[in-house]
Amino acid sequence: MFYHDKELQYKVRVTKPNPVFARMLQQAIGGIEGEIRVCLQYMFQAWGQRGPVKYRDMLLETGTEEMAHIEMLATAVALNLEGAPMSLKEEMSKDKMIGAVMGGMDPRHVLSSGLAAMAVDANGVPFNGSWVVGSGNIAADMYANVMAESTGRVLATRLWEATDDPGMKDMLAFLIARDTMHQNQWLAVLEELGGLDCHPIPNSFPQSQEVKDFNYAFVTTNIRGDGTPLGRWTEGPSMDGKGEFHIRRAEPLGGEPKLAAPDPRGHAQTEQMTSGGLVAKAKHKLGLG
Amino acid sequence: MFYHDKELQYKVRVTKPNPVFARMLQQAIGGIEGEIRVCLQYMFQAWGQRGPVKYRDMLLETGTEEMAHIEMLATAVALNLEGAPMSLKEEMSKDKMIGAVMGGMDPRHVLSSGLAAMAVDANGVPFNGSWVVGSGNIAADMYANVMAESTGRVLATRLWEATDDPGMKDMLAFLIARDTMHQNQWLAVLEELGGLDCHPIPNSFPQSQEVKDFNYAFVTTNIRGDGTPLGRWTEGPSMDGKGEFHIRRAEPLGGEPKLAAPDPRGHAQTEQMTSGGLVAKAKHKLGLG
Amino acid sequence: MFYHDKELQYKVRVTKPNPVFARMLQQAIGGIEGEIRVCLQYMFQAWGQRGPVKYRDMLLETGTEEMAHIEMLATAVALNLEGAPMSLKEEMSKDKMIGAVMGGMDPRHVLSSGLAAMAVDANGVPFNGSWVVGSGNIAADMYANVMAESTGRVLATRLWEATDDPGMKDMLAFLIARDTMHQNQWLAVLEELGGLDCHPIPNSFPQSQEVKDFNYAFVTTNIRGDGTPLGRWTEGPSMDGKGEFHIRRAEPLGGEPKLAAPDPRGHAQTEQMTSGGLVAKAKHKLGLG
Amino acid sequence: MFYHDKELQYKVRVTKPNPVFARMLQQAIGGIEGEIRVCLQYMFQAWGQRGPVKYRDMLLETGTEEMAHIEMLATAVALNLEGAPMSLKEEMSKDKMIGAVMGGMDPRHVLSSGLAAMAVDANGVPFNGSWVVGSGNIAADMYANVMAESTGRVLATRLWEATDDPGMKDMLAFLIARDTMHQNQWLAVLEELGGLDCHPIPNSFPQSQEVKDFNYAFVTTNIRGDGTPLGRWTEGPSMDGKGEFHIRRAEPLGGEPKLAAPDPRGHAQTEQMTSGGLVAKAKHKLGLG
Amino acid sequence: MFYHDKELQYKVRVTKPNPVFARMLQQAIGGIEGEIRVCLQYMFQAWGQRGPVKYRDMLLETGTEEMAHIEMLATAVALNLEGAPMSLKEEMSKDKMIGAVMGGMDPRHVLSSGLAAMAVDANGVPFNGSWVVGSGNIAADMYANVMAESTGRVLATRLWEATDDPGMKDMLAFLIARDTMHQNQWLAVLEELGGLDCHPIPNSFPQSQEVKDFNYAFVTTNIRGDGTPLGRWTEGPSMDGKGEFHIRRAEPLGGEPKLAAPDPRGHAQTEQMTSGGLVAKAKHKLGLG
Amino acid sequence: MFYHDKELQYKVRVTKPNPVFARMLQQAIGGIEGEIRVCLQYMFQAWGQRGPVKYRDMLLETGTEEMAHIEMLATAVALNLEGAPMSLKEEMSKDKMIGAVMGGMDPRHVLSSGLAAMAVDANGVPFNGSWVVGSGNIAADMYANVMAESTGRVLATRLWEATDDPGMKDMLAFLIARDTMHQNQWLAVLEELGGLDCHPIPNSFPQSQEVKDFNYAFVTTNIRGDGTPLGRWTEGPSMDGKGEFHIRRAEPLGGEPKLAAPDPRGHAQTEQMTSGGLVAKAKHKLGLG
């Protein structure tokens, strides 16, 4: 269960409110790279964790921290919206530079939330629960987490570049630091789990059951024979140490698929069921005759 | 640009059609772990690739292969739907075991697609373009890809367990093998990019700008002093080699946030704007007086 | 900011795991009546609260409690999935009553989460951030909260009826009790804000600006003259004490709308731009001539 | 069933078309606070109404009226789009104030609808059927309706503030008046249903089944002992007259949850199934050794 | 504006309620082929109609009728849910045939709506406003309408096959008849607009601006030279009478795309910006060395 | 299965990058009228095709071509984003015309993708798999395809109008040409299937089962007797040649629906179950007494 403190984890100051930056910050709240996603992702992984209890415990810790990050960002959005233009008339009467502000804002910051954050991304697209990944396989989940913290840190550095408000830069510098830690944290779990020996994930499936010619082959679909891009993935031992990389040209091994005729109760067109009749058809044409 | 062959990449046979398994296969087509996602993800990463061209080339190769996997799975769905019950009456008149079939099917396989695959997951939730991750940072993208192939392979092994149809098991054994390769392939790119030196991603942001006390600290939010879960992530050098892990208790450094009063044109309640008047209020109550 | 305790707020026991009930419980997690919604709704209302600070403080309290409810329900889902069937073969070989189980389960509980809860509703539809209402008007928000706790309590009582597992009934009896409190809590704020005097919400908009003949009129659209349903809403003083209810027949006061011709650059059909030519047209018909 | 009149319920005039305002108006059409939502919500509540028939009848009346409001707003959008810029070139050649217009418009008003309204909100996010609440419990539904009309009226007053076009202000003044009535109308039903005696909703669930210590307790999760916000909700009789408010500190009564080991067929990592082996593992590390 | 009659357009009787059929009927309410879509589609097309007013008038007529169809189907759902099982316990105690019912129902019909229809499809996926097509080009819109009525009629005939309840068959026979009319109705408009001369839609774009070698060429992407499927589309005059069909092999005319290096402020990996350094890299590997 | 060529199908050049146009182009990638939709639509129709194999073959051809169009457009987006502003500071310091750019861009082009295309529409709303129509009835599907290519071509001509970049105009002129062909192609299939004889779709349902008085009747819901819009659809032979158009006034034939009382376990309000008691109720009012 959970407790709260009315104070923030780190300071959130805005020197010069900017409603366009408020919109951008929404990406870090309700976007796929955002904090609602990681908060719920770590929580759901914790609540469904089967296996060593220490991972459940650790996921709860960091999931709880992420809730504080949503709070910081939501506060930053509200502060950036202080004094935002609320009418088009007002907008037009200001100087022309400001004239672009309402165009760049999220209009729902005026219309729907009354100058506060919402559970949406920078385009107003609502947070979506499908982004919360918890697979029941801890190695897969750790990669999901490294990925979330990597795209999240990329986002935070771009927000840092987009503003020159010192308070906002400071807050983002804190969040960027936390993303650094969290990338390392999930990588540390992966090391505990065996590092590259984790692979292929899941490692509990017997590789003897795989179709062998294909599990370490780089399949090239390039129609020109000489275009295959070479790299670490085309020769040498595989990263998981369990095979040898090689190249294989794409080729069809499966033949043409053949489906049965339509079930009459599915009401395809009659012509789909009696295809022989198709040629003679066409007496009542679409209009060319 | 792209070309096709009418034949499949690998054989798709169904001995005993099972419409409930058809529904399960939809997860591998239109689900977040599915093939439409990886196909479009690798394609969009290729099309937006800035930097070494060989990565663009390689992403195109594998994105193109994934399209063939959607095709295989869509064919498998159609074959599993051959002879599926199309009326509740029919359903009821069969033996009781079969009686459960229509309950376990996706009803839209009967109603919407006429016994064919759709661009949806196992619950009929449509594929969502937000799942297609291409961040412009190749290391972040490679983690997104390892994650996609890891959750994808977990899914494929679960589908393999769920069926005893030999044709389906064989097709899945092929797809599982491809996921093995693709996990290795993206890890190989990460090695080329410096392995753990990639971190913190993005590595082009100067770490000197981070709030330093926090970038290698495991923050514990556990309300009991003795509950911090210890592990690789709480001491020793960080995974990226750029810091030292340590533990830090969560504490509020940001103070209480203070927002300005509401803008009158946002039409908050009057009481929000004149909070002093709140105590004397309540003359026309909700009903208890 | 936030802290956690590894223990649950209230006990969660499952005597006889039932994966169909696990699916039903998802509605209380990721559904529109569920706990993720109220958790985020109270949080976002707190973070954007402008006006008396005590409301911000109170919203934080209850938002934090709701996170513990998500945790309880997620745990309940995982416990109800213990031992769930993971293959269709297995399903078929059990007795016929059990034969219906996999049909009634969420297949993604097997395929995607590995027998754990997800951020989705009882049909696997993902949680959607658009449900998180925070309008900046505290009275409107309190109604949103009463409504959330009312539909939430209705849901919880239905789940209580749907199961006879004593542990589940006990957990639901706890959640039902909390919904009772929370309904009362938001109503208490409404009383503090003036009870029915809150209305019309927002009360900061001058009613003198309304089109007066319509603000207390029940407009009847019933095509038959004698069918208007009478009730408290058709006569007597209005609930807000600021008008008198009366009935008014629906009638068109606005005339027929007239839009300009299409802008040529919008590429309507030529016939839309030169409507006179339409009659003579039709020389190359769709096929009837 | 339904009939129509080609004329509008109230006049819709636009003196100076403004495509940025057209975008804002979309929130009142396809947004969560908008008219499609209330139209369908009242209709679905009517169509599913079980119990006194007069409520069904009344819901049909107002649902039908709301369709006319969608029509008015859709007309207003089209009129505000007359003469809107359709090319970036044109945009650039006008004076700089106008230069911001296309940035503030919904580009789909040009690209997708040809200068007409769409079933989306102010950010182009499509209307979502999940917003249509009909619970089968009439008191819960009435709160859903009061809430919809409250957030709807807040939205309408903000749109009224955002424009100085007299025709638009007049149309909005009409819609604001209707929202006043509809708030009162749903409150009138609540009074008929017993006013605060409705609570806790549903009132048909025996409160004797609730976990009693918690149904009138304000649970405080504040980690500091002295921070609980006091108010009408912390002491005195509860709003429903069925209990006494009191404060209770959050505390864990549920112990730590324990889940079973993963089912092998769910293909967790091997390490999750044999957790003893984890310490000795890590021979093939992620790279730091 | 709109009016209503409390009676239904056509009779809706259910002899033997079937909650599984109730779920199926939801596809015709809130699915992409369903009645909410056509209702709103015709309405929005009417409200945005620019050009001959008779098309606006006609669209309003049929949009209004469709609202009555939603009503009929919503009533049919409620009637099919009368007496539906509301607990798993009850479900289990009935005979085994009935045992499958709750698995095949939409659980939200019990949990969320209290045995009534919702604005969702047969899988509980909410209605989505993006399906409402109104392009501003009347010919394109008429095809959208023919398509909606075609997939809608296919759906209705499948529902007709799925049930043997005489009341339901009768109601569906009415809806199927209306779909017949509406297909013809939209085709009639197309004939008025010039039949095949409408094409290419939009006909107001000067075809002289098209890249000419490609506007009547069937491009074959088949990698085998002899596999092009022949038909009406590979030779002879084009359907619009403005060109001659011919076959053209797919070939790349566009060269390889070249993107600039990443903008440093976008924080790609350093290696993407200095690609020469990549070979020497890899000193701190992912683990294989 | 599929192959690729690293070169593009047609040349994509951008003389003067414009990030606002980049956003507009997204509609043609991830919008409902866009290329992801047609690509997947033709593919899924092919993979589920039952009946004459030549249609399966042809759909594969064109589906494969559409993938190349996504590629072209994604490249165009990336090229239009070269040099786009990445900070608000920079934006402000440029001249005022440029000042509007960031307002009109998709901020996620900076924040999420690093100046590359995404699988979203012009408002950042993600591509949605529900748009992929494949009904199992080939005539319905061909109309879905004509409609997709018609709205797609309308979109492309509007994009052509919106830009004066010669490279972009040339690329769009190519895509417009392809849409011309594809409209013709699907119409050609319809002619092969019998032209207007296809109707009513599905033509395999016996029309003798329809409710006859309604299958060729234009139902007028206009409340005024003299307002029915006349046209090809109100008299003369029907377009399918199987009936005669006529007009019929809307009238209720179905009576008032009557639902049973609520099931007690669904926890409606008590008053819904004992409606007689409603009048005497109201002792504990909402506040007016």
Give the tens place of pLDDT for each residue, F251-260. Answer: 999 999 999 9
Of B6, B112, B197, the CB nearest to E227: B6
Instruction: State CA A44 to chain mean position distance.
Output: 16
Q: Which residues of A touch F199 (CB under 8 A)?
A: none
Residue E109: inside a domain: yes
E270 interface with D at CB cutoff 8 Å: no
F21 min Cα distance to partner chain E (Å): 17
CB atoms within 10 A of CB C225: 8
Q: D108 — contact with chain F (CB < 8 Å)?
A: yes
SS3 breakdown of chain D: % helix, strand, coil, rounded to 5?
50, 5, 45
Contact D129 E136 (CB under 8 A): no
E1 in contact with chain D, both atoms CB, cutoff 8 A: yes
Burial of B283 (0-12, 13-18, 19+ CB in 10 A): exposed
Indicate the residue of B32, B162, B285 with minimum beta-carbon distance to C191. B285
Residues D122 and D214 in one domain: no
> How far is C-alpha C281 from the geometric centre of its chain's CA atoms?
51
Contact across the interface for F101 and D103, Cβ inside 8 Å? yes
Q: Please, what is the Cα angle at B26 between F52 and B148, to 5 degrees?
A: 125
| E66 belongs to an annotated ligand binding site | yes
CB-nearest to F117 from B47, B50, B67 is B47
Quick check: C178 contacting D, CB < 8 Å? Answer: yes
- Look at residue B256 and tell me whether its pLDDT is greater than 60: yes
Give how far A183 is from chain E: nearest CA, Å: 14
Per-residue pLDDT, F230: 94
Q: Is the domain of C155 the same as that of C234?
A: no
C251 among the known binding-site residues? Answer: no
Could you report the per-residue pLDDT of D86-141, keeping only the tens digit for each? 888 765 554 444 445 777 999 999 999 999 999 999 999 999 999 999 999 999 99
Using the Cβ of B169 and the Cβ atoms of chain D, whether some distance falls under 8 Å is answered with no
3-state DSSP assignment of residue D237 = strand
Burial class (CB in 10 A: 0-12, 13-18, 19+), C164: middle
Does some domain include residue D289?
no
Residues E217 and E146 in one domain: no
Residues in C touching D139 (Cβ below 8 Å): 150
Q: Give CA–CA dist F121/F128, Å, rounded.
A: 10
**Weakest mean pLDDT among B32-36, C221-225, E228-232:** C221-225
Same domain assignment for residues A159 and A230: no
CB-based contact (8 Å) between D247 and chain F?
no
Q: Is F149 annotated as a binding residue?
A: yes
Give the residue on D whose Cα is nearest the Cα of B278: D231
Q: What is the distance of C-alpha F78 from the center of its chain?
A: 25
End-to-end CA distance of chain D: 75
Cβ of residue B99 closer than 8 Å to a chain D Cβ? no
E127 and E172 together in one domain: yes
> Are D227 and D151 in the same domain?
no
Closest alpha carbon to A136 in D178, C110, D258, F116: C110
Which residues on adjacent β-strands are paired with residue D248?
A: D219
User: Are residues F174 and F31 part of one domain?
Assistant: yes
Phi, psi of D79 (to 5 degrees): -70, -35
Chain C partners (3+ C-beta pairs within 8 A): A, B, D, E, F
Chains A, C: CB contacts under 8 A, how many? 174
D164 is in an annotated binding site: no
Q: C20, C91, C112, C242: which to substitute to probe chain B, counting the most B Cβ within 10 Å?
A: C112
Residues of C in contact with E51 (CB under 8 A): 261-262, 268-269, 271-273, 275
Q: Residue A103 has what pLDDT?
A: 78
Q: Could you count the other beta carbons within 10 Å of the beta carbon of residue B41?
A: 23
- E: neighbours with 3+ CB pairs under 8 Å? A, B, C, D, F
Residue range C32-84, pLDDT digits in tens: 999 999 999 999 999 999 999 999 999 999 999 999 999 999 999 999 999 99
E285/C76 Cα distance (integer angstroms): 42
The HSE-up count of residue B171 (CA atoms within 13 Å, CB side) is 29
Angle at D59 between CA D53 and CA D63, to 5 degrees: 150
pLDDT class for F233, splitting at 50, 70, 90? Answer: very high
> What is chain E's mean pLDDT, rounded?
91
B149 lies in the same domain as B239: no
Q: Which of A277, E146, A279, A284 lies closest to F197 in space, CA to CA?
A: A284
Do the chains contact at E154 and A267, CB–CB below 8 Å? yes
The domain total for chain E is: 2
pLDDT tens digit sequence for E35-87: 999 999 999 999 999 999 999 999 999 999 999 999 999 999 999 999 999 88
Domain interval for residue C176: 19-197
Q: Say yes or no for a CB contact (<8 Å) between A157 and E267.
A: yes
Distances (CA, A) of D152 to A274, C49, D183: 56, 19, 10
Token readout for E184 is: 């013809």
Six-digit token string for E97: 């045939």
**Distance from chain centroid for Cα E169:** 24
CB count, 10 Å around CB of B94? 12
Q: Does E125 touch chain A (CB under 8 A)?
A: no
Residues of E in contact with F38 (CB under 8 A): none
CB atoms within 10 A of CB F174: 24
Among chain F residues, CA nearest to C198 = F287
Report whether D199 contacts C187 (CB < 8 A): yes
Amino acid at C264: P
pLDDT per residue as tens digits for the range E159-218: 999 999 999 999 999 999 999 999 999 999 999 999 999 999 999 999 999 999 999 999
The pLDDT value given to residue D88:
85
Percent of chain B predicted with pLDDT > 90:
85
Separation between Cα atoms, residue B155 and residue B38, nearest integer Å: 14
Give contacts of D 210-239 with B, CB under 8 A.
223, 237, 239
Q: Helix, strand, or coil here: C61? A: helix
Residue E267 in marked binding region:
no
**CA proximity to F90, closest of A238, C175, A20, C275:** A20
Q: CB of A196 within 8 Å of any CB in chain E?
A: yes
- Name the strand (E) or helix (H) holding D187: helix D166-192
Please report whether residue A261 resides in a domain. no
A69 is in an annotated binding site: yes
Share of chain E above pLDDT 90, in %: 85
Residue with tokens 């892990």: B245
Alpha-carbon distances of F208 from F93, F102, F239, F240, rounded to whole Å? 73, 61, 18, 15
pLDDT digits (tens, 9 = 90+) for F108-124: 999 999 999 999 999 99
C35's CB contacts (< 8 A; 6+ apart) are C28, C29, C66, C69, C70, C73, C152
pLDDT in tens, C203-256: 999 999 999 999 999 999 999 877 889 999 999 999 999 999 999 999 999 999
Strands lying side by side in the sheet with E217-220 = E217-220, E244-249, E236-237
Q: Do B107 and B135 fall within a single domain?
A: yes
Structural domain contains residue C264? no
Tokens 């790609």 sit at which residue? E268
* E43 and E155 belong to one structural domain: yes
Q: How far apart are CA D133 and CA C150, in angstroms?
A: 12
DSSP H stretches of helix in chain B: 19-30, 35-47, 53-80, 88-93, 101-104, 107-111, 138-162, 166-192, 270-273
A166-217 confidence digits (pLDDT tens): 999 999 999 999 999 999 999 999 999 999 999 999 999 999 999 999 999 9
Q: For B269-288, what is the mean pLDDT?
A: 56
Chain F positions in Cβ-Cβ contact with residue D2 (cut-off 8 Å) = 221
CATH code, domain carrying A144: 1.20.1260.10
- Residue ranges in E33-115 assigned as alpha helix (H): 35-47, 53-80, 88-93, 101-104, 107-111
Residue F188, SS3 per DSSP: helix
Residue (of F183, F151, C273) closest to E199 by Cα position: F183
- F274 assigned to some structural domain: no
Asked if residue B121 and residue B67 are part of one domain, the reply reads yes
φ, ψ for residue F183, nearest 5 deg = -60, -45
Cβ of C70 under 8 Å from any chain A Cβ? yes
CB F143 within 8 A of CB F201: yes
Question: Is F39 within a domain?
Answer: yes
pLDDT at position D37 is: 98
Buried b (16+ CB within 10 A) or exposed e, A95-104: ebbebbbbbb
Closest of E152, A272, A286, A288 to residue F240, by C-alpha: A286
Are F144 and F221 in the same domain? no
How does pLDDT run across F135-194, given as a tens digit for each residue? 999 999 999 999 999 999 999 999 999 999 999 999 999 999 999 999 999 999 999 999
* Contact check, Cβ <8 Å, B5/F1: yes
Residue F266 is given by DSSP the state G
Walk along chain A (289 residues) and give the pLDDT tens digit of each residue.
999 999 999 999 999 999 999 999 999 999 999 999 999 999 999 999 999 999 999 999 999 999 999 999 999 999 999 999 888 876 554 444 444 577 789 999 999 999 999 999 999 999 999 999 999 999 999 999 999 999 999 999 999 999 999 999 999 999 999 999 999 999 999 999 999 999 999 999 999 999 999 999 999 999 987 789 999 999 999 999 999 999 999 999 999 999 999 999 999 999 998 754 443 343 344 433 2
The string over D103-140, giving b where at least 16 C-beta atoms fall within 10 Å of a residue's C-beta and e elsewhere, is bbbbbbbbbbbbbbbbbbbbbbbbbbbbbbbbbbbbbb
Does D196 contact B239 at a Cβ distance shorter than 8 Å? no
Are E284 and A192 in contact by the 8 Å Cβ rule? The answer is: no
Cβ–Cβ of D129/E127 closer than 8 Å?
A: yes
> Is A219 strand, coil or helix?
strand
**A111–chain B Cβ distance below 8 A for any pair:** no
**Chain A residues with beta carbon closer than 8 angstroms to that of E286:** 196, 239
Tokens standing for C45?
């209302």
Q: In the block, which residue shows the tokens 């090689």? A: A246
Q: How far is F232 from chain E (nearest CA, A)?
A: 6
Q: Whole-prediction pTM value? A: 0.95
Judging contacts by C-beta atoms under 8 Å, the chain A residues touching residue D166 are: none
Cα–Cα nearest to D88, from D74, D101, D106, D73: D101
C99 is in an annotated binding site: no
Confidence of residue E278 (pLDDT cuts 50, 70, 90): very low
Q: Which residues pair with E237 in a beta bridge?
A: E244
Question: Do C163 and E88 lie within an 8 Å CB cutoff?
Answer: yes
Q: Which of D58, D109, D112 to mutate to test the interface with F (most CBs of F within 10 A)?
A: D112
Question: CB distance from A62 to chain C under 8 Å?
Answer: no
Mutate to test the interface with D, among B169, B265, B267, B278 (most CBs of D within 10 A): B267
Candidates C48, C68, C118; nearest CB to A116: C48
Please report the pLDDT score of residue B281 as a whole number: 42
Q: Are the CB atoms for E201 and E140 separated by under 8 Å?
A: yes
Give the mean model confidence (pLDDT) for residues D153-159: 98
Please tell me which chains touch D, using 3 or more CB pairs under 8 Å as the contact test: A, B, C, E, F
Contacts of F51 in chain A (CB under 8 A): 261-262, 268-269, 271-273, 275
**F73 close to A (CB below 8 A):** no
Cα A131 to its chain centre, rounded Å, is: 6
Within-domain flag for D126:
yes
Q: Is residue F6 assigned to a domain?
A: no
Which residue has tokens 């499948």? E158
Residue with tokens 């959330």, as numbered in its chain: C148
The amino acid at residue E177 is A
Residues recorded for chain F: 289
* Distance, CA of C15 to CA of C34 (rounded, Å): 24
Report the distance separating Cα A133 and Cα B143, nearest Å.
14
- Residue E216 is given by DSSP the state T
State whether residue E144 sits within 8 Å of chain F by CB: yes
Who among E154, E267, E287 is closest to A154 (CB)?
E267
